[in-house]
Amino acid sequence: NAGVMQNPRHLVRRRGQEARLRCSPMKGHSHVYWYRQLPEEGLKFMVYLQKENIIDESGMPKERFSAEFPKEGPSILRIQQVVRGDSAAYFCASSPEPDNYGYTFGSGTRLTVV
């Protein structure tokens, strides 16, 4: 039973390009969460999705960031027109239920904007 799969592991983008981060949840998990870890900081909640629905995007920056979790395929975190300040580790987690924090985390995607 594979864990939460994130790819790519490392992503380098030039300023102004788009970054697409993918997350495949564990089998049987229909709840996906994205967290961002800026340098020297703890992880910060970004968004919670179920299949085809965004449940809570209260932690998402208002511009340039979007997330989806389609009926088929992985969840995608998309960052348009990246800037240096977007450089961070982006972690995805999944759970079978939305409460009690039964998370399984992926290994993260390290985004570097040059």
Residues interacting with other proteins, by CB under 8 A? 3-4, 6, 9, 31, 33, 35, 40-45, 48, 56, 59, 91, 93, 95, 98-101, 103-108
Report in angstroms how near the CB of residue 93 gets to other proteins at its nearest: 8
Residue 20: which residues within 8 A CB-CB, separation 6 or more?
A: 76, 77, 78, 79
Between 106 and 113, name the residue whose CB sits nearer to other proteins.
106
Least separation in angstroms between residue 79's CB and other proteins is 20
b (16+ CB within 10 A) / e for 9-18: eebebeeeee
- Residue (17 or 22) nearer to other proteins, CB: 22
CB of 83 to other proteins, least distance (A): 22
Return the number of the residue (93 or 113) whose C-beta is nearest other proteins: 93
Burial category of 77 from C-beta neighbours within 10 Å (exposed 0-12, middle 13-18, buried 19 and up): buried
Distance CA 7, CA 68 (A): 15
Cβ 74 to other proteins shortest distance, Å: 15
Retrieve residue 73's tokens. Answer: 């395929």
